[in-house]
Chains A and B, each alone.
Chain A
Amino acid sequence: MNPYLPAFAWQSHAVLARHVRVHLRNWYTATLPPVCEPLIMLLAFGVGLGRQIGTLTWGGAPLDYMHYLAPGILAYTAFMSSFFQSLFGAYIRMHFQKSWEGQLTTMVRLEHVVWGEALWAATLATAYAVVVCLVLGAFGLAGQLTLHWAWLPVAIPLLFLAALSFSAIGLYFTAIIPSIDHMSLPFFLVIMPIGFASSTYFPLPDVPWLMTVSQFNPLHHLSEGMRGLLLHGQPTWHLAASAGLCVLMLLLLVPLDLRLLRKRVFGDG
């Protein structure tokens, strides 16, 4: 069976719709993180730390820290929201709420549940990114940021693709962690290394091995690509590199996730 076709099946979309429905009922609390997090980051780091840093060099030209930070926050939101939802959210639904098992007793099969979770994580992360854009827009109106908003229609689908691939990493850990007490492992093994080696919040130091490693980090390319788009209005090779790495992750991880989750949920595989 093709592991990617269920992404387009109505059952996966029914699972996605269930998550959207639940989320929208609590929209007032659900909207707090995407609004507050960039707001705090921009105020604390962009305004606060930015005054200490002043300008830094990016792409051979000086750039104030607030402008450096803004596209990085956008990329990090897509990464973090998707990973968090596909790890914590999916694990709780699978293990504690048993809502997966309830869905699986219907016309929904495991591949639909898994794709529903991945699509939901990507949709939520993209929605959060849009909210972040609104916050950035407010900073723009206040004269703190100048961004090329016309490139947003290019940025949003890329953020969705990246979030979808990050959700595949989250689901991988959902499949393999022995218990919720082990949730710190993926944070230390994945989120922190990918987050710090990604030039989201600060430029990477000129260390050869780190520069080499970062070439395989989709978040690094996503951050740099978003900067090129939103700061200069120029699509760069980083966007293509990010998209390529994300597609590669999906190709490798989705079949693995399905196999491991089948074993976890049904004890079969």
Chain B
Amino acid sequence: MRRSAKLILIAAAIMLGSAALAYFGAMRFCAHHMAAGDDLSWLRHEFRLSDSEMQRIRQMHEGYLPKCREMCGRIAAKQKEVEAALANGASTNSAEQKLIELGTLRAECQAQMLRHFEEVSRAMPDEQGKRYLAEMQRLTLGFHEQIENSMGASPHSGLGHGDH
């Protein structure tokens, strides 16, 4: 190999190595720095909240969590009842009833969550509150909607519920 080519290869290797080191180092540092803090640190950063606004929101959040946990417990218990009804070979009507109850509980959970989002959004400055509410609806309700839409579409694979 020619001397020039060797030199360029070595220089390129050094440059690539240093650039990779800089890229991953900076990425890790920034990711760690931005993700640091508790569950609510994102709210402060994203919606530029003051200390007093954060304090109010923290209180709401801490008030909401036990309700959320309780609801999760009820949903998990109902889920077990549905599974038990299906496993015991109980009548279809009984299993259906349990499924309806499970669906109702999930809807209640979502409604409670929405109420919490609205409450939090009111503790924020107007514009930020609207943005927060829209973002939360997109991330939580939109997530389920996305799944339902994908199931409702008529995919080429034949999967999905669109043809039923």
Report whether chain A binds chain B: no
